[in-house]
Chain A
Amino acid sequence: MKSKSIMNDLRQRLAQCFSLVFPDIEAPEVYSASSSSVAAWDSLAAIILANVIEEEFRVKLDYDVLPELVSFDLILNHLNNDHLNNDQLKSDALKNNHGIS
């Protein structure tokens, strides 16, 4: 149950990051957003999105991985797989502490 809750929390917080960087995306479409479906998602927007995600989740997204993170799901998986061991991230999620709201 805890892990599902953490996952939902990550998903919501990531969606808020997307909404901030791509304000033109309608709320339901955020979860299926990708660089091919969002016209504004160019290389600079990808860097901005990465910076916002870094601040929100207190993680470091290396320039090397940015070219692979081209959709909401891929970014969510990356955060989930690579950073779920991050104690801070877990703690934030459990507290349901939404930084972007």
Chain B
Amino acid sequence: MQFTEAIKTIREYSSVDLPLCRVRLVTGFNPLHLQTFLQAHLQQRIPASRVVVSTDVYGDMTGALARVQTSTAEMCAIALEWPDLDPRLGFRQLGGWGHKELTDIVVDAQSKLVAIRKSLESLPDHFPVALSLPTLPLPPVFHTPSWQLSESELHLRHAVDELALWAAGRPNIRLVRPQGQEMDVRSPQAFDFKGELVAGLPYAIAHADQVARYLAQLLASPVPKKGLITDLDDTLWAGIAGEVGPEAVSWDLDSKTQLHGLYQQLLRALADQGVLIGVASKNDPETVEAVFRRPDIVLPRDRVFPVEAHWNAKSESVTRILDTWNVHADSVVFVDDSSSELAEVKATHREIECIRFDGQDYAEVHSLLYLLRDLFAKQTITQEDGLRRESLRAGSVFREGAKSPGVSHEDFLRDAEAKITFDFAAAKNPRSLELVNKTNQFNLNGTRYNEAEWHDSFAASNTFAVNASYRDKYGPLGVIAVLAGQASETAVTVNTWVMSCRAFGRRIEYQCLKAILDRFLAQEIVFEFSATARNKYLQEFLESLLGETPDGPCRISRAVFLDRCPKMYHEVQIHHE
């Protein structure tokens, strides 16, 4: 981003009436450029709020960190540099660079890092912190030549690494991953030596932009994609299976087709972290299954669902896969070696991200592997992530079973042996917020929360959050619904309600409402409903319940709900807070 663009972005939002998102930037140096870029990058990532980045007195890292807790900030970005650990590790102080001072510098740095850790430790677990470790070169403080790594320097770096290792294990702290080693000492790209001495601005403009971008990405992470649809021939493997035969396609070093093996390996890893992997291939289904039966396949068949192998248009296959997964095209990536197939799919599914796999271009595939990791990156892998693929298979079986001749839907639901567990300690379960922030179709109003906002929304004693886990004889779905709001003596107000699309068609939504009516002995439920472009499923549900199309907040009495609620067959368990 250019500096001018950053200022324009900030100006654009400066007079807009939006809720504020307050961010504290902590640095030991003049944060001018970093602050500007951070505000602009965050603003681009959080367009529903007006981002305000404030700073503290610079030059006092530990003091500034201690004051973060009492500030109004909802999140914090920290750019740590060597002089923050000891001023002699910078260029603005003349405290000595001799070998006699070195031991003292290392001891000082270690104790400063302990103080920083204590300040970070005192921040609440839900308070998001993005931390950038030193990015600028150390001064010529060591008696060894600049191309040699000295023991003293290693002591310094070890102390920083210890802080980093501790911080990476904290639920609320995210670390900027250094992009390569620190810039070369004499490179002007990162360090502005004159700027540091004349104005206390050590970051060159481009470097300030880069650090700000990483900090912003950590504080406002992009929503991960949910699924990947891959082609097979010359993509998942090298060769056309239908032409050379299932035994002759390859993905290994000996055949000089390792790129495809690496792609399979990455897809397997993604599948194991809960990413949905589907196949859209113009192929004979039996040939495809024969390749998947090979013992050396890296991406096993059971990690892939569904497989669309036929000779029809790939856009049709994608449509069916999206339908099976019940996810929107904008959550999905399509990978194919053919530009024309990519274009054909894109023409029908404009929001799908199409990426070409060019097995002849090593550099491009190398980049692709990292790109896919980034597109599907998650902070934590939950139990539900592991369940997703199996629950989709189960859902498919469920839907097929419900359509079986001679079996009514009512009979099917009755015989499903469904069990729902409601947990009223849901506010603290990270899966609850994750579900709230990624669910679209069954979402009461589309409101998204950051961790601090979510936590703060339960400050009052009459607030609640409950989630629902579901399983039936076809398998578990995990946590699939979250409701949150406030309860008064007579009514429950629901301001958050989401349900995973995997759970549709099981009457779980009715059981959710019954659970909160019973829990709070309420006579009425108030829904803080707001129509969004994507919450049609919830709109239709409310319409069926209320008998009219809701156009905003609406309510239903216990009596009317019970009258309109269909028969439910679930076994219900309640865990109270």
Contacts and interface: CB of A to CB of B under 8 A. Distances in A.
Interface stretch (B61-69, B197-205, B478-486): B197-205
B199 A52 contact: no
Contacts of A48: 3, 7, 32, 36
The residue in A23, A47, A99, A100 that gathers the most chain B C-beta atoms within 10 A of its C-beta is A47
Interface string A36-60: 0000000110011001100110000
B403 interface: no
Contacts of B118: none
Interface string A60-92: 000110000000000000000000000000000
Task: State the majority secondary structure of interface residues on A.
Answer: helix
A20 B205 CA distance: 18
Interface in B4-21: 4, 7-8, 11, 14
A21 B7 CA distance: 8
B255 interface: no
A72 B11 CA distance: 21
B11 A52 contact: no
B201 A47 contact: yes
Contacts of B564: none
B199 A47 contact: yes
Interface in B459-502: none
B3 A51 contact: yes
B526 to A, nearest CB: 43
A23 B11 contact: yes
Contact of A20 (B11, B36, B201): B11
A32 B2 CA distance: 27
A5 to B, nearest CB: 24
B3 A63 contact: no
A44 B195 CA distance: 12
B143 interface: no
Nearest to B32: A44
A55 B2 contact: yes
A51 B37 CA distance: 13
Interface residues of A, number: 15
Contacts of B32: 44, 47-48
A52 B194 contact: no
B174 interface: no
Interface string B161-202: 000000000000000000000000000000000110011010
B3 A55 contact: yes
A56 B4 contact: yes
A72 to B, nearest CB: 18
A62 to B, nearest CB: 8
A63 B166 CA distance: 40
A51 B11 CA distance: 16
A44 B35 CA distance: 12
Interface string A12-38: 000000001101000000000000000
The residue in B14, B32, B33, B201 that gathers the most chain A C-beta atoms within 10 A of its C-beta is B32
Interface string B189-231: 0000011001101000100000000000000000000000000
Contacts of A99: 4
A55 B3 CA distance: 8
The residue in B3, B4, B11, B14 that gathers the most chain A C-beta atoms within 10 A of its C-beta is B4
A63 B198 contact: yes
Contacts of A44: 32
Nearest to B14: A23
A3 to B, nearest CB: 26
A94 to B, nearest CB: 22
A52 B4 contact: yes
B74 to A, nearest CB: 25
A51 B36 CA distance: 12
B205 A51 contact: yes
Contacts of A63: 194-195, 198-199
Nearest to A53: B4
Nearest to B33: A51
Contacts of A23: 11, 14
B13 to A, nearest CB: 13
The residue in A20, A43, A63, A64 that gathers the most chain B C-beta atoms within 10 A of its C-beta is A63
A20 B7 contact: yes
B512 to A, nearest CB: 49
Contacts of B201: 47
A25 to B, nearest CB: 13
Contacts of B198: 63-64
A100 B36 CA distance: 18
A55 B322 CA distance: 45
A21 B6 CA distance: 11
A55 B4 contact: yes
Contacts of A64: 198
A67 to B, nearest CB: 10
Nearest to A46: B199
A56 B3 CA distance: 10
A99 B7 CA distance: 14
Contacts of B3: 48, 51-52, 55
A34 B11 CA distance: 21
Nearest to B11: A23
Nearest to B8: A20
Given A20-B11, A51-B33, 4 more contacts: A23-B14, A51-B4, A55-B3, A99-B4
10 contacts: A20-B7, A21-B7, A43-B199, A47-B32, A48-B7, A51-B33, A55-B2, A55-B3, A63-B194, A63-B198
Interface of A: 20-21, 23, 43-44, 47-48, 51-52, 55-56, 63-64, 99-100
Task: List 5 A-B pairs, minimum CB-CB distance, nearest first.
Answer: A63-B198, A51-B3, A55-B4, A52-B4, A55-B2
Interface of B: 2-4, 7-8, 11, 14, 32-33, 36, 194-195, 198-199, 201, 205
